[in-house]
Structure 1
Amino acid sequence: MSRTVHVIGAPMDYGADRRGVDMGPSAIRYADLADELAAADVDAVDAGDLLVPRAEERDPGDESAKFLPEIEDLCTRLADEVADAIDSGHTPLVLGGDHAVAIGSLAGTARDADVGTIWFDAHGDYNTPETSPSGNVHGMPLAAALGEGRFAAEEWANARGLREENIVYVGLRTLDESERDAIRDSDMTAYTMRDIDERGITAVVDDALDTATDGVDGIHVSFDVDWLDPDEAPGVGTPVRGGATYREAHAALETVAERDRADDILRSMDLVEVNPILDESNRTADIAAELAASALGKRIL
């Protein structure tokens, strides 16, 4: 085995209004994740799930950033798990849970290193408590990691070594107006679905990798399954038509794996927003497990 993957379940659904993504880690494991990783020629060590109290037992609190103390607790523990795994020479694979878990993934992987990230997502995830129309923190993880708005005072959320110029969106297709303005004014790079339509997925991901890896120690890949078209992956809480196809998703992550084989770039990854309640015969979790394997080196030949 050429790599040890440290699987961490983060069954958190504080970041979204719709319940169900807390069952995502179990659904992905049930979808033969272990076999998929073995087929990628990696040794998987499953650390189990972090303990997360049920949202129904807690008060959402501040409507501009719901459940923020609970999210802080989970993400602080997750950051420690991710950092410890990297220190042990392992590659953390975080199974969400809603996308707010990426605050912990990024804080852990960027604790003692300069990192970039590729963000496969239909959404920008760049709202702050001041701009969010919903107060749902799963729409804020990149803003939190960069210390935007109120998050400037939330040290637990800030990914110290995350470099804004090495953040690349791939496949955006829906943004709030405040996010659109903020992303345009930032040093981040954004490729929309139109870029993929015009240039093809592998060309876009190659360029994204060039930007994300420039001058850093490695990258974090954050993959929200709502990046895929809902016809491919129905088990998500915020579906948006016009997403990536099954084959485009595999090609994208196979391209990441190819660059990783050449340059050893992949520090960590998260897979988020699988909602079994909204799924059909565990289809979305099946795809998530397959895509994890593609990112970690599974090949057709």
Structure 2
Amino acid sequence: MLDKKISMVGVPLDLGQNRRGVDMGPSAIRYAGAFERLKLLGYDVCDHGDLTVPVPYVSASEEDLKYLSAVVDTNRVLAAKTDRIVAAQEFPLILGGDHSIAIGSLAGISKHYEELGVIWYDAHGDLNTAETSLTGNIHGMPLAASLGLGHESLTAISGDTPAIKPENIVIIGARALDDAEKMLVRKSNMNVFTMHEVDRLGMSEVIRQTIGYLSHCDGIHVSLDLDGLDPIDAPGVGTPVVGGISYRESHLAMEMLHEANRITSCEFVEVNPILDEKNKTAEAAVALMGSLFGEKLK
């Protein structure tokens, strides 16, 4: 990673879900010292600021999907931005915003890889579509959309070909999957480490297997939702689920991913300062960012 310039982009989108405030996530992460921490590690970092998120005229659902047009427009801009960053041989670091922004991240980044691997560090599978979602919240659909499943305006952001393949996905920390998501996981080749596997195997073995499973990929994107952590360590998220990955386990995971030297892009999403405690969740995000980029005690 050290030989690449880091291009940081904020995406203040909070329309993919019900609880407002996650649009302030990029600012909270910056306030917690993301830029300074990476600079101290020796990286050349360029902060591109925040993308402009359109203000929707209405809050009503569009074809059973909330704020569909605004979410699509934002992700199209993000896809173009990440496309340019990777084309310039720089490392995309995306700050969210809700997890619906992963549609744009993956759409742009995947253009540059034949077999892009994805590590989805999250309490949720985000594998719903308009037909299976109980809420119409698009932040529960980005992984499905990136697989080419769901509303055509979401899947079209990646073009004619899905951004990623199910056999190139590893979900870590899952503990809140809907029935339709469970069915999709069973019939696909996705590799899922639920909290049961994390507890039983230990995080070290989970990451070891993850790296081995994605060994054929020519790039690996880390999509880290802060609700993957236990709410004790990351209270400022919109959809907290108890019984999550610990702060220390998460650091170990990021440290091992750095040591593998395979990560080519990443995003940190779902930091909601309104729901947080003294910016604790944003500070956790920045600390984990430090571990992913090689920060060590000695």
TM-score range relative to shorter protein = over 0.9
Q: C-alpha distance in 2, partners of 1:49/1:92?
A: 13
Post-superposition shift, 1:14?
A: 0.9
1:206–1:16 CA distance, 2 compared to 1 (3 A): same
Report if aligned partners of 2:94, 2:267 keep a CA contact under 8 Å in 1: yes
Q: 2:182 aligns with which of 180, 193, 209?
A: 180
- Contact 1:118/1:170 (CA < 8 Å) preserved in 2? yes
TM-aligned CA deviation for residue 53 of structure 1: 2.8
Cα deviation digits, residues 111-161 of structure 1 (max 9, x gap): 131201000000010000110000000000010001114348841146645
CA distance in structure 1 between the aligned counterparts of 2:291 and 2:154, rounded to whole angstroms: 37
- Cα distance in 2 for partners of 1:291, 1:153 equals 29
Give the Cα–Cα distance (whole angstroms) in 1 for the partners of residues 26 and 287 of structure 2.
14
Counterpart position of 1:68: 68
- Gap regions ≥5 residues in structure 2: none
Alpha-carbon distance change, 137 to 144 in structure 1, aligned in 2, over 3 angstroms: same
Match of 1:192 among 182, 191, 194: 194
TM alignment of 1:23-102, pairs within 5 A: 23-54=24-55, 57-62=57-62, 64-102=64-102
User: How many residue pairs are counted as aligned between the two chains?
Assistant: 295
Judged with a 3 Å threshold, the aligned counterparts in structure 2 of structure 1 residues 152 and 68 are, in CA distance, closer, same or farther, namely closer
Measure how far apart 1:166 and its partner are: 0.9
Give the TM-score normalised by the residue count of structure 1.
0.94
| CA distance in structure 2 between the aligned counterparts of 1:295 and 1:69, rounded to whole angstroms | 34
Q: TM-score, normalised by structure 2?
A: 0.95
Moved more, 168-177 or 60-69: 60-69
Residue 142 of structure 2 aligns with an amino acid whose one-letter code is P
Deviations 1:217-271 (A, max 9, x none): 20110000000000101000000000111111110111110001xxxx2221010
Is the CA contact 1:41–1:298 (under 8 Å) kept in the aligned structure 2?
A: no
User: Unmatched 5+ residue regions in structure 1?
Assistant: none
Read off the aligned partner of 2:169 and give its amino acid letter.
I
State whether residues 54 and 74 of structure 2, in contact with CA within 8 Å, keep that contact through their aligned partners in structure 1. Answer: no
Alpha carbons of structure 1 residues 113 and 161: separation in structure 2 relative to 1, 3 Å: farther
Corresponding residue number in structure 2 for 1:288: 285
CA RMSD of aligned residues (A): 1.6
* Corresponding position of 1:244: 245
Q: CA deviation at 1:292?
A: 1.3
1:131 aligns with 2:139: no
Query: Among the aligned pairs, what percent are the same residue?
Result: 45
